[in-house]
Structure formats: structure tokens, C-alpha cells
Amino acid sequence: NNARMILNKDYIIGEVDKRIYGSFIEHLGRAVYGGIYEPDHPTADKYGFRQDVAELVRELQVPIVRYPGGNFVSGYNWEDGVGPVANRPRRTELAWTTVETNHVGTDEFCTWAREVGAEVMMAVNLGTRGADAARNLVEYCNHPQGTYWSDLRKAHGYSQPHNIKTWCLGNEMDGSWQIGSKTAEEYGRLACETAKVMKWVDPSIELVACGSSGSGMPTFPQWEATVLEHTYEHVDYISLHTYYGNRDNDTANFLARSMDMDAFIKSVISTCDYVKAKKRSKKNINLSFDEWNVWFHSNDADKKLERWSVAPHQLEDEYNFEDALMVGSMLITLLKNADRVKLACLAQLVNVIAPIMTENNGAAWKQTIYYPFMHTSVFARGTVLNATVKAPLHDTKEFTDVPYIDAAAVISQDEKELTILAVNKNLEESINLEIELNGLGNFRVLEHIVMDHPDLKAVNTRQKPFNVAPAPGGNAAMEDGKVKAGLNRQSWNVIRLE
Ligand code: AHR
């Protein structure tokens, strides 16, 4: 059971855009209320933000957070969420059939993002609204002063513009569940006209057009082609969304789904480049994988929720150890496509399908998936090397020739640190990985972090928050100029060299 990874200093995939370690906070369930914001919580700051949660977010070094949805944004009047809180309306929220109090809105969220060291990726409502509300929001957020909307922001106490650089033109507009869903033609035209006026207000912003809400949609990938034919010269990115689950309890097949994610990315790149050729354009459209995660544990419980409650326990997946392996594999897949994937958001960040869980008025803890996300975000910055990985293969129910090892290598900007991330998907046996460092210089092993557990279904809970956690116990070592590491069966590995 041996595998090889061949690295060469001159063979690279591309720079890691740190924004691939983005995440997402939607007005949904307890992400905002009871998640990042809980004014009565003992750790709340003067704005009402939980500092226990903020600290866990900071540890993840999330550079950008998408907001305020998601499906929520397609029915959202952003004006409801600014100005004196006492005057803000309570609204029926049709995406998730709850009541939105609007106690948190654009200004508060920007304050929170600054506290945790993240930029905001703002989505505009192209479900019930359009170009006018979108350009006003850009003016409210980014225009310095001296106009109606920028002066209103100042009057609300925010003298400095929020300077939001990255904007999403709606959310999942192809989905029948979306408020105000559209055909590709309808959406393409609306996105084009909205993009124009948003960039006229602030030419420095970047825009993400909605791709299909999943590769399984019947209109995929024609949707992407049509939307880009309308918007190509006005947008910078196209979005991808995907969620995986192990509904039939077939772990090997579940973990193999990173291959599906990779194929999805490759298909979207091809579609972008097809439109580029058709338009004789010199510009590339890059990819914003702005929703990705494991999501299925909470599906049944969510069907039983009562309508019109405030901040219910919604989409609260409790993640187990195999989910962490899958999230690790998905992160490696993003890295392997770093030349075109420039933004990505782990959906989501707190309580709602999230790495961080909280109790109302109580504790906050790290779910299993927190760790691979943190390791990758913190250590895998720099340049992704074009690694050749030769690993034993296996077949699963839906996939053939699945490598047991998923791995990526990232060298830091100053070339002083090399990080290898690897998942061993073999559920029975460990695999010896040998890494060749052609031309990369002399490295020594700094640490080999391992996350493994005998029970694939083990979880972290309020009572046992560190049941599944990484430890620095791996055996990676330099031998004859190569790295040799034993990768335990069913394990996540971070080998750090310096
Ligand atoms: O992240 C949860 C939901 O998943 C989002 O609101 C929506 O965009 C997607 O369907």
C-alpha cells in the first residue's frame, strides 16, 4: 500500500487566492441571531456580537464572508435592515418561512466582519427586486458622501464607506424554490443591466453572476452559457454551489464525490471558455464556488419545523468524522483548481450547516469539519504545485478509479514553507506516501498533524467538544531527500515542512 507524490518547483497550478477560504452567513436559522449576534450573551460586546464565536471565526482566518443569503436574499429589502433598530419592520421571511426581525442588517454585519478580520461579499436581491435596489445598496455601502444614500449611511452613524469589493448578482436564480426564480434569458438580461449600473456607481467592484444551483439541475450547463452570453463583459465570476451527503450510508461512495466536484468545476471552466471563444473575448471568467459543504443530517428535522418562528434550530447538521474527511477532500479539490477558482465559501459559518455551533446563551464549540477548514485556510496559502499523485485506486457504487489518496501541495510565497494536505480514503488500511521534492530545496518536517478516529460517525457535542480533534502525532520524516509518511486508514493529514 504505497503512494507517491511527485513535486517540482517549476510545475505549478496557480496562486491561492485567499478568498477560496471564504464562508457564508445567511439570515437563516441561528446563524445571525443566537450565532454571531446575541446581545444578552455573557461574551457579547457593545454591538451584541458574541466574542466566543468571533474568536472561533478569527482562528479560521476567514478572509471573506458572503451575506445576507442565500435564498433569503431573494426576498430581502435591504432598507429594512438599516437605521434605528426600533423602527425596523418584522417581516415574514418566505425562503425559510420564519419571521425576520431585522435587528441585524448591512451596517451591523459590516461591523462584525471588520471585528473578525473578514471582507464582506454582498449579495443583491434579484428575486423580488432589481437594478434600482442594487445600485442604491452599492451607493449606500461604497459612496463616500454627498448623495442621498451615502449621506443616509452617515446619518446612521457610519461615516466611512464599507467599501465592499465583491458582489453577488442574486442567488440560485434557476431554482424553482427561489423567490422570483427566472429562466436563463430572464436572469441573464437582468444580471447584465444590474451589473452595469452597480459598476457605474463604483467601477472598482467585482461581480459574480449566478451559475446553476447545482450540476444536477436539468438546465446545467446551458444556464451558464446563456447567462454568460448576456453578461460576459460585465461580470468577473460565475458561481457554483454543491452539497454532498451520505444518505445511504456508503462511506466509500460518499468520499468519492470529490470527483464529482472536480468534474463540476471542469465543466463550468469549459463553459466559460466556450463563451469566451464565441465572443472573441480576451477576458477570462473565473469561478466563485460560493456554496459548498456536506449537508443532509438536518433534512428530516427541518421538515417538522413550525412556521413563522424567529431564529429556529434550522439546518443544524451535526457533523461526524467522515464529514470532516469529505470537507478535507473538497478543500483539496478547490486547491487543485486554484488557477480558475478564485473565491469559495464554506456554507455556512455558524450553526447553519456550520463548523461552529452554539448554545443559546451558552457555549460555542468546533464541529469536526472545523479542523480541515482551519488547517487549509491557515497553512495552505501561496502557490499550489502541480503534484502528480500516484495512489492505489478503487471503485465505488457511482465512481470508478477513485484514488485512495487525495492530496495537494502548497508552497508559501517566500518558499520557506511547504504544506502537504492529504486524505487517506482507505477505510481498512494505512498507506505509505513518499513525496519527491524536485528542485524545492532542503526542507525538514515541522509537524505532521493527523485527524483520525476509529468511528466514522463520531461527533463533537457540547458535552464532548473535543471528541474528534487533530493531534500532531504523524510519523512524516525526511529520508534520502524525500518525505516519507504513513497515512493512517481514514485520516486527514497536514504535513508541514520548512
Ligand atoms: O446554504 C443554504 C442554502 O442552500 C442557501 O440559502 C441556498 O442558496 C442553497 O440552496
CA 474 to chain centre: 28
Average pLDDT for 431-455: 96
Omega of the bond leading into 314 within 30 degrees of 0 (cis): no
Q: How far does residue 496's CA lie from ligand 1's centre (Å)?
A: 34
> In a mutational test of the pocket of ligand 1, which residue from 65, 126, 172 has the highest number of ligand atoms less than 8 Å from its CB?
172
Which residue's CA is the closest to the ligand 1 atom numbered 7? 70
Q: How far does residue 481's CA lie from ligand 1's centre (Å)?
A: 47
Q: Indicate whether this complex's ipTM tops 0.90.
A: yes
In sequence order, what are the residues at sequence separation of 6 or more whose Cβ sits closer than 8 angstroms to the Cβ of residue 483?
A: 420, 433, 434, 435, 437, 443, 445, 476, 477, 495, 497
Asked if residue 186 has pLDDT above 90, the reply is yes
Q: Which atom of ligand 1 is nearest to the CA of 175?
A: 10
Closest CA to 210 of 295, 283, 290: 290
Identify whether the C-beta of residue 314 lies closer than 8 Å to the C-beta of residue 320: no
Which residue's CA is the closest to the ligand 1 atom numbered 2? 70
> In a mutational test of the pocket of ligand 1, which residue from 30, 71, 244, 346 has the highest number of ligand atoms less than 8 Å from its CB?
71
* 122 beta partners: 67, 167
Which residue's CA is the closest to the ligand 1 atom numbered 4? 70
Q: Which atom of ligand 1 is nearest to the CA of 315?
A: 2
Measured distance CA(450)–CA(457) in Å, rounded: 17
pLDDT at 39: 98
> In a mutational test of the pocket of ligand 1, which residue from 291, 314, 353 has the highest number of ligand atoms less than 8 Å from its CB?
291
Average pLDDT for 208-231: 98
Model confidence over 459-490: pLDDT tens digits? 999 999 999 999 999 999 999 999 999 999 99
Ligand 1 site, residue 242, Cβ cutoff 6 A: no
Q: Which atom of ligand 1 is nearest to the CA of 291?
A: 1
pTM for the full predicted model: 0.98
pLDDT at 190: 98
Identify whether the C-beta of residue 287 lies closer than 8 Å to the C-beta of residue 265: yes
- Three-state secondary structure string covering 132-165: HHHHHHHHHHHCCCCCHHHHHHHHCCCCCCCCCC
Average pLDDT for 136-148: 98
| All cell numbers assigned to 26 | 445567511
Identify whether the C-beta of residue 188 lies closer than 8 Å to the C-beta of residue 227: yes
Confidence of residue 441 (pLDDT cuts 50, 70, 90): confident
Asked if residue 109 has pLDDT above 90, the reply is yes
Which residue's CA is the closest to the ligand 1 atom numbered 6? 70
Q: What are phi and psi of 292, to 5 degrees?
A: -155, 145
Measured distance CA(124)–CA(77) in Å, rounded: 9
Ligand 1 site, residue 474, Cβ cutoff 6 A: no
Measured distance CA(374)–CA(370) in Å, rounded: 6
Average pLDDT for 150-171: 98
Q: Is the dihedral of CA 219, 222, 223, 224 positive or negative?
A: positive
Q: Which residues are catalytic?
A: 172, 291
pLDDT at 179: 98
pLDDT averaged over the chain? 98
Identify whether the C-beta of residue 103 lies closer than 8 Å to the C-beta of residue 88: yes
pLDDT > 70 in the chain, percent = 100
Model confidence over 382-391: pLDDT tens digits? 999 999 999 9
> In a mutational test of the pocket of ligand 1, which residue from 32, 66, 171, 315 has the highest number of ligand atoms less than 8 Å from its CB?
171
Ligand 1 site, residue 347, Cβ cutoff 6 A: yes
Confidence of residue 362 (pLDDT cuts 50, 70, 90): very high
Q: Which atom of ligand 1 is nearest to the CA of 348?
A: 1
Model confidence over 227-260: pLDDT tens digits? 999 999 999 999 999 999 999 999 999 999 999 9
Which residue's CA is the closest to the ligand 1 atom numbered 8? 70
**Three-state DSSP class for 37?**
strand
pLDDT at 430: 98
Closest CA to 451 of 483, 484, 418, 487: 487
Cα dihedral 352, 356, 357, 360, rounded to 10, equals -90
Asked if residue 340 has pLDDT above 90, the reply is yes
Ligand 1 site, residue 291, Cβ cutoff 6 A: yes
Asked if residue 283 has pLDDT above 90, the reply is yes
**Three-state DSSP class for 305?**
coil
Q: How far does residue 26's CA lie from ligand 1's centre (Å)?
A: 8
Question: What are the C-alpha distances in Å from 150 to residues 6, 158, 202, 207?
Answer: 54, 9, 12, 21
- Three-state secondary structure string covering 210-272: CCCCCCCCCCCCHHHHHHHHHHCCCCCEEEEEEEECCCCCCHHHHHCCHHHHHHHHHHHHHHH
